[in-house]
Amino acid sequence: MPILACVIGGEFPGVLAAAQNGSEDAFAVLWRDGQPALLRYLRVAVPDAAEDVAGEVWVQVVRGLAGFRGDEQAWRAWLFTIARRRALDERRRRSRHPVAPLMDLPRDLEPRTPDAAGQAIDNLATEATLAAVASLPTQQAEVILLRVVAGLDTETVARIVGRSPGAVRVAAHRGLRRLGQIVTMTGV
């Protein structure tokens, strides 16, 4: 079982119920469980806006939390369904309002935020692998991330991406094969 997946386990129903009844600490448990996987998914889906989109996802989760029913797998499926929609919204928004390339900006307008240093990569292997996954065809990358990072099964991923389980298996298989080629060549 991946470290990121289903880490709450048997305590999930109690944690969820507490969060639904106003326990901020219980919500924090859900957040700590979901946020790292969410960020890794979004870093590939919307590389420049992963943290912003993740924040929007959690706002939407908070709004709908009281009405959520289901186990931990369903919870993750819900979380990543929201994330996927928000990522698609962000991509559409950017396609309508393209951002000027950084190189076109005057030097004094280049973004220099205190957070820039925080963008330093904590885990080189993870970042390098995410970059390799990002180079895959979109559908293959998405399926691999939803299976591996989100810890969802084939059927759940199929529902989220709106394809058949067979198509998801094929995409995952092709994506893994290609990812294997990339990491073998580049030594990621």
Partner 1 sequence: MPNLPSSPRGSVPTIGDAACEALLAGNLPPADAERGMLPLAEAIAALTVAPSARELAGEPDARAAYRGGFTRPVRAPAREPPAREPSAQGPGGQATGVSACLFPCSASNSPWPPRWLLSWPPVA
Residues forming the site for partner 1 (CB under 8 A): 1-5, 20-22, 24, 27-28, 31-32, 35-36, 39-40, 51, 54-55, 58-59, 62-63, 65-67, 118, 122-123, 125-126, 128-130, 132-133, 144-145, 147-149, 151, 169, 172-173, 176-177, 179-185, 187-188
| Cα–Cα dist 34/164, whole Å | 25
In the complex, least distance from residue 67 CB atom to partner 1, rounded to whole angstroms: 7
Check the CA dihedral 157-160-161-166 and report its sign: positive
**Running DSSP on this structure, what letter comes out for residue 150?**
S
8 A C-beta contact, residue 3 and residue 36: no
Task: Kindly tell me which of 40 and 84 has the beta carbon lying closer to partner 1.
Answer: 40
In the complex, least distance from residue 56 CB atom to partner 1, rounded to whole angstroms: 10
Exposure on the CB side of residue 40, measured as CA atoms within 13 A: 25
In the complex, least distance from residue 107 CB atom to partner 1, rounded to whole angstroms: 27
130, amino acid identity: L
62, amino acid identity: V
Task: Kindly tell me which of 11 and 52 has the beta carbon lying closer to partner 1.
Answer: 52
In the complex, least distance from residue 54 CB atom to partner 1, rounded to whole angstroms: 7
In the complex, least distance from residue 149 CB atom to partner 1, rounded to whole angstroms: 5
Task: Kindly tell me which of 32 and 92 has the beta carbon lying closer to partner 1.
Answer: 32
Task: Kindly tell me which of 105 and 164 has the beta carbon lying closer to partner 1.
Answer: 164
DSSP string, 56-85: HHHHHHHHHGGG----HHHHHHHHHHHHHH
